[in-house]
Amino acid sequence: MSNRIERCFAELQAARKKALIPFITAGDPSPDWVVAMMHTLVEEGADLLELGVPFSDPTADGPVIQASSERAIDRGVGLSDVLDMVHEFRKRDDTTPVILMGYLNPIERFGYSEFTGAAADSGVDGLLLVDCPPEEMKVLRPMMDAAEIAPICLVAPTTTPDRRRMIARFAVGFVYYVSFKGITGADRLDAQSLLAPVSELRECTDLPLVVGFGIKDAENAASVAAHADGVVIGSALVSLLAEAKTEADTLDRIRAFVAPIRRAMDNTAQS
């Protein structure tokens, strides 16, 4: 199950490094540039990729990612197109884990069995469905298991201890801790406040723990990486890329944004 994810975190642990997991929306700034964007993210130090599936009615995404999704939808990007992007990415990169982040409705319309088969064929490693808790995955989960697609689960500051343990048992690949109550992109991150909840989560699972929401720059990422096994950074990157007018500009923006974050995280791990 999720061999790429497990192998990635094992290699990072052996190297005493933390996972850098950037998020981009599939289809923004242009559907034609997404695969090149994915490769450039990896070249600049990304360890896993989180690829957002455009959806019209998000519940956890803040205004930056919601607007990005709307732009991608306006360009005609749907779930099938996202899977095609992953398939194209896999022609050159068969090692970097790819996690799809999105909502249940597009998968229901696609068909559970059809989706899991197509996602596995494309090279998808994990699926994070914001609006689908473990209790609602009774039909989808066996199909994901058969396709070796990891269910990536969210734990929030408001999650009770009993539920935290249940989610930890359900999860595969890694557990994603939401750093604060609210939506993506909000400016409320306090890295020191993560110490207690991350420590409590470690008592529930041996899976790697990654933290997302509110991580905007190298300083944020390094401070969070001191407590977690990986960091997810999304809204700040998506906002930067929204202003790009050409593919070359987009890739230059990725390089300028990701490289210092990678350096800061590595320096923190070695200190």
To 10 degrees, the CA torsion angle through 169, 175, 180, 182? -90
Summarised one tens digit per residue, pLDDT across range 153-169 is: 999 888 999 999 999 99
Summarised one tens digit per residue, pLDDT across range 116-149 is: 999 999 999 999 999 999 999 999 999 999 999 9
Average pLDDT over residues 39-47: 98
For 188, how many CA atoms within 13 A lie in the half-sphere containing its CB? 14
Residue 242, SS3 per DSSP: helix
Per-residue pLDDT, 1: 45
Summarised one tens digit per residue, pLDDT across range 45-104 is: 999 999 999 998 877 778 899 999 999 999 999 999 999 999 999 999 999 999 999 999
Active-site hit among 50, 84, 125, 266: 50
Active-site hit among 28, 44, 47, 61: 61
Is 50 noted as a catalytic residue in this protein? yes
Per-residue pLDDT, 23: 96
Domains and CATH numbers, the chain: 3-270 (3.20.20.70)
CA–CA dist 19, 222 (Å, integer): 11
Q: Where are the alpha helices (DSSP H) in 44-170?
A: 63-74, 79-90, 104-110, 112-122, 140-147, 161-170
Is the whole model's pTM more than 0.85, yes or no? yes
In what side-by-side order are the strands of the sheet with 153-155?
150-151, 126-129, 98-102, 49-52, 19-25, 230-233, 209-212, 175-178, 153-155
Say if residue 271's pLDDT is above 90.
no
Summarised one tens digit per residue, pLDDT across range 167-225 is: 999 999 999 998 754 444 445 556 667 778 888 889 999 999 999 887 888 998 998 89
CA–CA dist 247, 86 (Å, integer): 18
Which candidate, 131, 135, 141, 30, places its Cα nearest to that of 77?
A: 30
